[in-house]
């Protein structure tokens, strides 16, 4: 018997069964006969294990979980029955015997490399595949009570780190020094060590520390504030830039617990914050507080974005809202879950009606060229009668 050293909960059997049933419903609505799931996060979501293998979900009948490696951990971690295989080529004959390979299949087109897709078509001797990714993202959109519990524990790590930052951030320290100390603190409280982000070339650090000039540097990353990093090979994150008095240090930290990600930002200031940042901070706070009162189940995400933009315009800060110039991003909020860029996305372009159980990070931020960046980010759970905070850490400027 495997002796587990993990501190996190296994995904309950009823939870796995519910997720697979919801996927089957989406598949039936789209005339899909079977799904082939290969990506790590999707495998974990639908099975509870990350061990090497493939999950086949027929629209009718039981899911088929094939495990190539490591069997002992898979048996311990997943409530599903397991079919052991020596190599992935063994899958075809078993599926043929069970008459699964028929009609229309589906795979995760948004994350599978072409070479992997073509290999599995050849391996299965089956050509008729369509995209499964939007159906999976739709199933994952509404979080269950179990998932929200994991998200809250992730948020608890964030609160511990923000509290610790009061003692860590000091004038003269470099961004990367601050990040190293705070990331270590998060690990002590159970942080899983890295964050997952869906899509090609989508990479995300656990922590972004920016201060003054570094907060204005633009990068390839689809984020309003990316930082300079310590190398052009990564080109984002904390740098060797050192803390000066009066200039906000933005700490943008992603919690990670049992796979589930949270994402919040707070400003820290050595001394007294310069006046150039004060109006932007007040506007970001007003946007957060207004959204917390206004948004609830049934509200369109476009309304949330537009209300925020109106407040930025009223403060004459629209040019700096969510970036400036070519560095502007088109969203103010993004979904959270096992990946940091899940649905919903709060933008002015896409109608997204909020539903209970959605979880999203909301981040009004302002980038002031030549000066620095300021903003706040909080995580919300959508409820029928309003939004619920994931953490209880205050949104005040923290003076150190």
Mark whether 76 and 186 lie in a shared domain. Answer: no
* Residue-level pLDDT at 3: 67
**Residues contacting 396, CB < 8 A, separation 6+:** none
**Residue after which a domain boundary falls, among 139, 169, 190:** 139
Residue 254 falls within a domain, yes or no?
Answer: yes
46: tokens are 């639908």
Mark whether 223 and 134 lie in a shared domain. Answer: no
Residue 2 falls within a domain, yes or no?
Answer: no
Residues, the chain, total? 400
**Residues contacting 294, CB < 8 A, separation 6+:** 303, 304, 307
In whole angstroms, what separates CA 160 from the centre of its chain? 19
* Residue-level pLDDT at 220: 84
Mark whether 259 and 387 lie in a shared domain. Answer: yes
* Residue-level pLDDT at 6: 77
Residue 342 clears pLDDT 80, i.e. is over it: yes
Residue 1 clears pLDDT 60, i.e. is over it: no
Mark whether 30 and 63 lie in a shared domain. Answer: yes
Mark whether 130 and 209 lie in a shared domain. Answer: no
CB 118 within 8 A of CB 112: no
CB 43 within 8 A of CB 37: yes
Residue 44 falls within a domain, yes or no?
Answer: yes
- Based on its alpha-carbon atoms, the radius of gyration of the chain, rounded to whole angstroms, reads 22
Q: What is the CATH number of the domain that holds 118?
A: 3.40.350.10
Give the integer Cα–Cα distance in Å for 278 and 305: 22
CA angle, 283 as apex, 279 and 284 as ends, to 5°?
A: 120
The chain-wide mean pLDDT, for the chain, equals: 96
Distance of CA 338 to CAs 173, 250, 261, 314, Å? 33, 24, 6, 36
The closest alpha carbon to 365, from 247, 267, 238, 218, belongs to 267
pLDDT mean over 100-110: 97
**Residues contacting 315, CB < 8 A, separation 6+:** 279, 280, 282, 283
Please state which of the ranges 103-112, 183-192, 196-205, 274-283 shows the lowest mean pLDDT. 196-205
CB 206 within 8 A of CB 194: yes
For the chain, the domain total comes to 2
Distance of CA 239 to CAs 35, 204, 377, Å? 43, 15, 21
What are 312-337's pLDDT values in tens digits? 999 999 999 999 998 899 999 999 99
Give the integer Cα–Cα distance in Å for 99 and 85: 18
Q: What is the DSSP letter of 90?
A: G
Task: Please report where in the chains the tokens 């099975």 appear, as a residue.
Answer: 47
pLDDT mean over 62-80: 96
**Residues contacting 310, CB < 8 A, separation 6+:** none
Q: What is the CATH number of the domain that holds 389?
A: 3.90.230.10
How would residue 378 be classed by pLDDT, with cut points 50, 70 and 90? very high
Give the integer Cα–Cα distance in Å for 116 and 122: 10
**Residue after which a domain boundary falls, among 123, 139, 155:** 139
Mark whether 303 and 372 lie in a shared domain. Answer: yes
Note down the domain range covering 43. 13-139
Mark whether 91 and 18 lie in a shared domain. Answer: yes
CB 51 within 8 A of CB 73: yes
Mark whether 111 and 231 lie in a shared domain. Answer: no
Mark whether 95 and 18 lie in a shared domain. Answer: yes
**Residues contacting 114, CB < 8 A, separation 6+:** none
Mark whether 131 and 150 lie in a shared domain. Answer: no
**Residue after which a domain boundary falls, among 139, 172, 192:** 139
How would residue 257 be classed by pLDDT, with cut points 50, 70 and 90? very high
- Where in 279-368 does DSSP place strands (E)? 333-335, 342-346, 359-362, 365-368
Residue 33 falls within a domain, yes or no?
Answer: yes
Mark whether 91 and 168 lie in a shared domain. Answer: no
């Amino acid at each position: 018997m495997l002796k587990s050293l993990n501190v996190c909960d296994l995904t309950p059997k009823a939870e796995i069964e519910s997720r697979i049933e919801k996927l089957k419903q989406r598949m039936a609505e789209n005339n899909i006969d079977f799904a082939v799931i290969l990506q790590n996060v999707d495998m974990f979501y639908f099975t509870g294990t990350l061990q090497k293998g493939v999950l086949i979900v027929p629209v009718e009948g039981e899911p088929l979980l094939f495990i190539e490696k490591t069997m002992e951990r898979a048996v311990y971690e997943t409530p599903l029955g397991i079919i052991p295989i020596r190599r992935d080529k063994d899958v075809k004959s078993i599926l043929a015997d069970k008459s699964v390979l028929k009609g229309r299949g589906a795979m995760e087109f948004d994350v599978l490399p072409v070479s992997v897709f073509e290999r599995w078509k050849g391996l299965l001797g089956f050509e008729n595949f369509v995209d499964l990714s939007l159906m999976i993202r739709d199933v994952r959109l509404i979080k269950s009570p179990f998932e929200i519990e994991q998200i809250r524990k992730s948020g608890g790590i964030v609160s511990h780190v923000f509290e610790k930052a009061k003692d860590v951030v000091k004038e003269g320290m470099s961004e990367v020094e601050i990040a190293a100390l705070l990331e270590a603190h998060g690990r002590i409280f159970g942080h899983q060590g890295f964050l997952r982000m869906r899509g090609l070339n989508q990479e995300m650090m656990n922590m972004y520390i920016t201060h003054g000039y570094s907060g204005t540097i633009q990068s390839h990353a689809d984020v309003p504030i990316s930082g300079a990093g310590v190398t052009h090979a990564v080109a984002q994150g904390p740098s060797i830039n050192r803390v000066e008095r009066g200039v906000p240090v933005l700490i943008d930290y992603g919690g990670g617990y049992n796979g589930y990600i949270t994402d919040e930002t707070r400003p820290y200031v050595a001394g007294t914050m310069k006046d150039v940042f004060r109006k932007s901070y007040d506007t970001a706070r007003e946007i957060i507080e207004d959204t917390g009162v206004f948004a609830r189940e049934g509200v369109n995400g476009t309304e949330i974005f537009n209300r925020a933009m109106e407040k930025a315009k009223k403060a004459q800060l629209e040019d700096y809202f969510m970036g400036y110039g070519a560095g502007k991003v088109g969203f103010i909020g993004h979904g959270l879950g096992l990946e940091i860029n899940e649905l919903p996305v709060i933008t002015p372009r896409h109608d997204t009606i909020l539903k209970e159980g959605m979880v999203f990070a909301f981040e009004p931020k302002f980038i002031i060229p030549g000066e620095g960046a300021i903003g706040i980010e909080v995580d919300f759970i959508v409820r029928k009668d309003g939004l619920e905070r994931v953490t209880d850490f205050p949104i005040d400027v923290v003076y150190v």
